[in-house]
Amino acid sequence: MASTTVLPAEALPCLIAYIYKRWTRLSFSDIPGPKADSFLLGNLSELFVGPAAEADFKWKEAFGSVVRYKGILGDDHLMISDPKALQYILHTSAYHFLKETGGRRAISHLLNGHSLNSVDGDIHKRHRKVMIPAFGAPEARALFPAFRKMSQELMARWKDITTQDFESGSIVFNIPRWLSRATLDAIGEAAFDYQFGALNNSQTELGKAYENVNAALFGIPTSSRVFWDNFIDWLPSWLVEKLMTVLPNKRYKKIRYTSDVSTRVAKQLVREKRNAVGLGKENKDVMSLLVRANASTDPKAQLSDEELYAEMRIILFAGHETTSNTLTWTLWELAKHPDFQTQLRNEIRATEAKTESELTLADMERMPYLQAVLKEGLRFHPAISRLMRLVKDDEVIPLSKPFTTISGAVRSELAISAGTKIMLALAAYNRDKEICGPDADTFNPGRWLSGNDRNKEHTSIGVVGNTYVISITLFRRFTARECSMTFSSGTRSCIGWRFAMAEMQCFLVDLINNFEFSPTEDEKRIRREGPALMFPVVEGEIEDGVKLPLRVSIAARD
């Protein structure tokens, strides 16, 4: 009886129909790709268990921008990094490529509810329309004081520790642990006017639930988890969601716990925001703007309360470790390249010397080297290295460059059938030598500063074309061609990119202005991990979780 509760009788025909569809669709055996390691797991171990995005780089180098790889039980998948194909998938025909596949969609629903991030088609359009007004340029600017407050709190904590423990003149910090707490506090303050208390160790239940949530849920998987996560993609989402609500495994328990805590807080916050809006208060946090925008939307297009709770949960989930990881990796590069670090510090101090008061966001946006370093950090270490999509109907995808099949035919389009899983390789795109130049595999902020040798003929993609700083006209001359897909592109590009840019500028300026960073003896053992969100670990100390130690000292002033 118990098993019929978990796996109802209707599930069996569904499963058979799904498997039949998988086996009878168009074959990709003529498309070049790596040899599968096993029938059971195909190439998925290399893809998901190995260092983040390494397989993507290797396959792109060996086979090009369209690569066939094997999923479980011989299933064919495609990895795509061709610009024209990405443009078609993310802009032109975006709603024909479903956001998540079965298992991932189920996890997303359970964790974050039916939010902007996991709904498709007209529902996504409705969600996005209500949410867009809360994420504009003026709104991101208005949040700058909240970011500054948290950044200053981090500086004060570090100065406190460094002056107390300073014997050798420096101290080693596990950078992502600190930045994850600081950005959690920042998103609480800016997005919800909510105090997580993560930096001062007075954490709320919600703060505890979200600390390093990504690594806990999606961190380095075992082979059996890779098999299971992909097997459940073959099942309908409703069934997988049902399984996840009852199975006693540790990961699903963590998802259920995080989901319960965040829903409880979301309900309370939405109630408070609604009361404040009713009283005519002009709060600037994202959630207040969202509640206000929803109230003034045509009732038929409004978000329901459940949907508002889901938006709060996805903002928290999508907007927290993405920024802390990007900052971590950028500091890592600056620590390894002291000349870049000094150049940035000199620019910050020169700007400071010119301004009478504290640096504003506008001052930071006028700093070309700061913009260049941030963009290079985003390009080189994209927090989300890949996106997964499921093809809804049979499609013919255009390509910017023809490819040659194994049997020697030249194809300038890609015919692909409904139900195919595709992986959009953002990290591999960001290192495309034809787009980013011959030094694409090198961290080089200079590429964003002057005329560069990138191919100007390629299809234009990436968030808001080639300018993703807030003052578009001011910075047009500083930006390079689009060689960064880190915020994705098109219909469902990152809605929080302006928020992220404002926050990251603020933290990076304060960090580099106040402290000097250098690698520790662990330098050679730092590895990028994570099948979804990329995070750092120290080889041989993986059980410590997210870790990137850097030596930190107070930055001298003349």
Residues near ligand HEM (CB under 6 A): 116-117, 128, 191, 314-315, 318-319, 322-323, 326, 383-384, 387, 486-488, 492, 494-496, 499-500
The strand pair at 421-425 and 76-80 is best described as parallel
Residues 6 or more apart from 268 whose CB is under 8 A from it? none
Q: Least distance (Å) from ligand HEM to the CB of residue 119? A: 8
Residue number, 74 or 121, with CB nearest to ligand HEM: 121
Q: Could you tell me if 290 and 270 are in contact, meaning their C-beta atoms sit under 8 angstroms apart?
A: no
Distance CA 389, CA 404 (A): 24
Q: Least distance (Å) from ligand HEM to the CB of residue 319? A: 3
Residues 6 or more apart from 446 whose CB is under 8 A from it? 372
What's the CA dihedral at 221, 226, 228, 233 to 10 degrees?
120
Q: Least distance (Å) from ligand HEM to the CB of residue 266? A: 14
Residue type at 332 in one-letter notation: W
Residue number, 41 or 312, with CB nearest to ligand HEM: 312
**Helix, strand, coil: what percent of the chain each, to 5?**
55, 10, 30
Residues 358-363: contacts with CB under 8 Å, at least 24 apart: 358/148, 359/509, 360/144, 361/141, 361/144, 361/470, 361/502, 361/505, 361/506, 362/471
14 is in an annotated binding site: no
Q: Least distance (Å) from ligand HEM to the CB of residue 488? A: 4
Q: What is the largest CA-CA distance in the chain?
A: 76
Residues 6 or more apart from 77 whose CB is under 8 A from it? 42, 68, 69, 70, 71, 420, 421, 422, 423
Residue number, 77 or 242, with CB nearest to ligand HEM: 77
Residue number, 118 or 162, with CB nearest to ligand HEM: 118
Q: Could you tell me if 77 and 22 are in contact, meaning their C-beta atoms sit under 8 angstroms apart?
A: no
Q: Could you tell me if 43 and 3 are in contact, meaning their C-beta atoms sit under 8 angstroms apart?
A: no
Residue number, 207 or 319, with CB nearest to ligand HEM: 319
Residue number, 122 or 543, with CB nearest to ligand HEM: 122
Q: Least distance (Å) from ligand HEM to the CB of residue 326? A: 4
Q: Least distance (Å) from ligand HEM to the CB of residue 500? A: 4
Binding residues: 494
Binding residues for heme: 494
